[in-house]
Amino acid sequence: MSDGAALQLALALPPLGAVAIALLGRWPNLRETATLATGVALIAVVASLVPGVLAGERPAVEWLQVLPGLAIAFRLEPLGMLFALVASGLWIVTSVYSIGYMRAHDEDHQTRYYVSFAVSILGALGVALAANMLTLFIFYEVLTLSTYPLVSHQGTERAMRGARTYLSVLMTTSIVFLLLAVVWTWVLAGTLDFREGGILSGRASDGMLIALLALYAFGTGKAALMPFHRWLPAAMVAPTPVSALLHAVAVVKAGVFTVMKVVIYIFGLDLLTSTGASEWLMYAAGVTIIASSLIALRQDNLKRRLAYSTVSQLSYIVLGAALANTWGIVGGSMHIATHAFGKITLFFCAGAIYVATHKTEISDMRGLGRTMPFTMAAFMLGALSVIGLPPLGGTWSKWYLALGAADAGQILFIAVLMVSSLLNIAYLMPIPIRGFFSAPTGEPVESGIREAPLLCVIPPCFTAIGCVGLFFFADEIYRLLLPLAGG
């Protein structure tokens, strides 16, 4: 199979899987088999494209010519390769976890859930593989609309209110800001294609570049840059597998991926460095990193604490893009993968705790490591990766980001990264420490292992091991990403 055909097949598999899931909805075992089979086929196809991209190939396909020079088209490059691998690979793990979680809770509308999940993966892949801003914008909106039924899945007033916040913030930012940025780019450059070195050099004043970058940064609401972050904590009303999808597999990663891709292929690193047009974005990201970490410290609800942690961690990637140098781009892009594995582990563990104990508040989780040792051990590994301690994957992405700040002469942001890591320790590590070393408050000390069902325990253990693996296989990711900065 040619790489172009593999690209087409990768885009076709999620909608085909969604149709199969819908048709098999009356038979849960077959429906879930279709989900898993589609996921396995997808990661196999996506992985088959890696050797070619590493060798410098850039497979491309075109679906529809909208206007002369403007098409719905796809082209695979290193950053899109990384995002496609993360989205397709973690879809399988999240699907396994979903089966255990949804069955344990006997959730309603499970067929709708799995269909929406498959369509959301199509949205994520379309964003990853887009050859221009028009294609990216279309699939960005597909991702927003397909995840709305997931956020509102439980159908309660609280769930519907959170889903309305989710949809209104993301649709408003994309239509008011992002669409305007896309049209403005078309007027300035006469193209929306993603090109090495960017397409705006010599076509706009410094002030226009700053304004345009602001439209892209705040218009990409999924990047959760303050003050457009409210949708993320509001969406925590969704079932935990959906939270994992939002935070690790597709949604927020599509946001920061878009910011990174716009910086590299629309503006170009040389243009941003020479004009200083992205310096304000460094400060916006720095404020978001620290402020959301401080808010996370005050949250007793575990999922809300993890949600504000995600807001902070996403701005690491925005900071890497704003630094506009080799180390910043590599570190920020690498953080897409390392944060995905760390944060999905934490959310999986939160869901496993809820399934086994129905506890959602951190203050109620003292001594829980004695009865749920595998879940709490996985949580600790995921937390250490998010913090950035070796030998876990988050170490490398934070290291390269610090090198990027040093290379740009932005010493302040090395301090931001260090303070943020200390805050990571403050809001994440008390959870496993209390779980293992504190007795339950006002309750007898329980003995024996009472973990969640196996399908809710295996996935976080697997992704926790993945956090370790990313530390030792970082060279391969580095080699994939280096061409983004002209290396």
In a domain, 346, yes or no: yes
Per-residue pLDDT at 441: 63
In a domain, 378, yes or no: yes
Per-residue pLDDT at 443: 56
Per-residue pLDDT at 438: 84
Query: Phi first, then psi: what are they for 361, rounded to 5°?
Result: -95, 135
In a domain, 296, yes or no: yes
Residue 101: both structure tokens together: 């979680």
Per-residue pLDDT at 158: 87
Per-residue pLDDT at 144: 93
In a domain, 172, yes or no: no
Per-residue pLDDT at 446: 54
User: Do 237 and 163 contact (CB within 8 A), yes or no?
Assistant: yes
| Overall domain count for the chain | 1
In a domain, 430, yes or no: yes
User: Do 191 and 153 contact (CB within 8 A), yes or no?
Assistant: no
Count of C-beta atoms within a 10 Å radius of residue 25? 17
| pLDDT digits (tens), the chain, 487 positions | 788 899 999 999 999 999 999 999 999 999 999 999 999 999 999 999 999 999 999 999 999 998 888 999 999 999 999 999 999 999 999 999 999 888 877 777 889 999 999 999 999 999 999 999 999 999 999 999 999 998 887 778 888 998 899 999 999 999 999 999 999 999 999 999 999 999 999 898 999 999 999 999 999 999 989 998 888 888 878 788 887 777 677 888 899 999 999 999 999 999 999 999 999 999 999 999 999 999 999 999 999 999 999 999 999 999 999 999 999 999 999 999 999 999 999 999 999 999 889 899 999 999 899 899 999 999 999 999 999 999 999 999 999 999 999 999 999 999 999 999 999 999 999 999 999 988 776 555 456 688 989 999 999 999 999 999 999 999 999 999 999 877 5
Count of C-beta atoms within a 10 Å radius of residue 250? 32
Per-residue pLDDT at 389: 94
Start-to-end CA distance of the chain, whole Å, equals 29
In a domain, 205, yes or no: no
In a domain, 326, yes or no: yes
Contacts of the segment 94-98: beta carbons below 8 A, 24+ positions apart:
94/241, 94/244, 94/245, 94/249, 94/344, 94/459, 95/32, 95/35, 95/36, 95/39, 96/36, 96/455, 96/458, 96/459, 97/241, 97/244, 97/348, 97/351, 97/455, 97/456, 97/459, 97/460, 98/241
Cβ contacts of 389 within 8 Å, gap of 6 or more: 395
In angstroms, rounded to a whole number, what is the distance separating the alpha carbons of residues 136 and 143?
Answer: 10
Which residues on adjacent β-strands are paired with residue 361? 301
In angstroms, rounded to a whole number, what is the distance separating the alpha carbons of residues 236 and 350?
Answer: 12
Domain of 383?
Answer: 279-487
In a domain, 396, yes or no: yes
Provide the b/e sequence for 289-322 (b: ≥16 CB within 10 Å): bbbbbebbeebeebbbbbbbbbbbbbbbbbbbbb
